[in-house]
């Protein structure tokens, strides 16, 4: 049960629809801890860097436009297996296939407006956290609290 960190974005539609609090709550009530949080207006360069793996795909330009069209809320979660766990809380990429009870399954309709990003691997998490946060902006919870929340 490794303690990991992952990068979450509540994207433009989440901010526009007033769902940021709801989204944060879903991760917090699972026991994951927010250790960094900011409202950001991403530049096109930041968006392209974040989604570099998708460059050249048919949806890439629309994706960059989507996540740069208004401020988004970026946050870092810490917790046991949080990379996989946060992806489960978020749900499948296409909201129509996302399980009810997941964020996308409860609040989204289309793949082009699917509310949330979550890192998909340890390498992605490290790379993406570095794009959006300086290490000095991440405030780890005290070890005593961390161990109280997790028992294997």
Q: Which residues of the chain form contacts with Mg ion (CB under 5 A)? A: 120
Report DSSP state, residue 141. P
State yes or no: is 117 an active-site residue. yes
- Which partner from the list ligand UDP, Mg ion, none does 102 bind, CB cut-off 5 to 8 Å by kind? none
Query: What token pair was written down for 63?
Result: 């994706």
Which residues are CB-contacts of 47 (< 8 A; sequence separation ≥ 6)? 63, 64, 67, 68
Under the binding rule (CB under 6 A), the answer on residue 97 touching ligand UDP is: no
**36, containing H or E segment:** strand 33-40
Three-state secondary structure of 80-136: ECHHHHHHHHHCCCCHHHCCECEHHHHHCCCHHHCCEEECCCHHHHHHHHHHHCCHH
Under the binding rule (CB under 6 A), the answer on residue 102 touching ligand UDP is: no
Under the binding rule (CB under 6 A), the answer on residue 112 touching ligand UDP is: yes
User: Which residue number is nearest to ligand UDP in terms of Cβ?
Assistant: 93
For ligand UDP, give the closer residue by CB, 78 or 128: 128
Among 102, 114, 128, 133, binds ligand UDP (CB under 6 A): 114
Dist CA 96 CA 76 (whole Å) = 26
Q: What is the dihedral of CA 123, 53, 34, 142, to 10 degrees?
A: 10
Residues 45-74 that bind ligand UDP (CB under 6 A): 54, 59, 63
Under the binding rule (CB under 6 A), the answer on residue 93 touching ligand UDP is: yes
Among 22, 106, 120, 137, binds ligand UDP (CB under 6 A): 120
- Which partner from the list Mg ion, ligand UDP, none does 93 bind, CB cut-off 5 to 8 Å by kind? ligand UDP
So which residues are the catalytic ones?
A: 117
């Amino acid at each position: 049960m490794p303690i990991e960190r992952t990068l979450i974005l509540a994207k433009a539609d989440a901010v526009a629809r007033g769902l940021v609090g709801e989204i944060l709550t879903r991760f917090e009530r699972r026991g994951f801890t927010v250790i960094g949080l900011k409202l950001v207006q991403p530049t096109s360069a930041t968006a392209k860097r974040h989604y570099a793996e998708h460059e050249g795909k048919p949806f890439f330009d629309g994706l960059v436009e989507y996540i740069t069209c208004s401020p988004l809320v970026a946050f870092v979660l810490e917790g046991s297996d949080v990379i996989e766990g946060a992806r489960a809380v978020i749900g499948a990429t296409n909201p129509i296939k996302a399980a009810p009870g997941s964020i996308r399954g409860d609040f989204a309709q289309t793949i082009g407006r699917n509310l949330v990003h979550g890192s998909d691997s340890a390498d992605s998490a490290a790379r993406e956290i570095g794009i959006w946060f300086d290490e000095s902006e991440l405030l780890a919870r005290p070890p005593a609290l961390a161990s109280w929340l997790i028992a294997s």
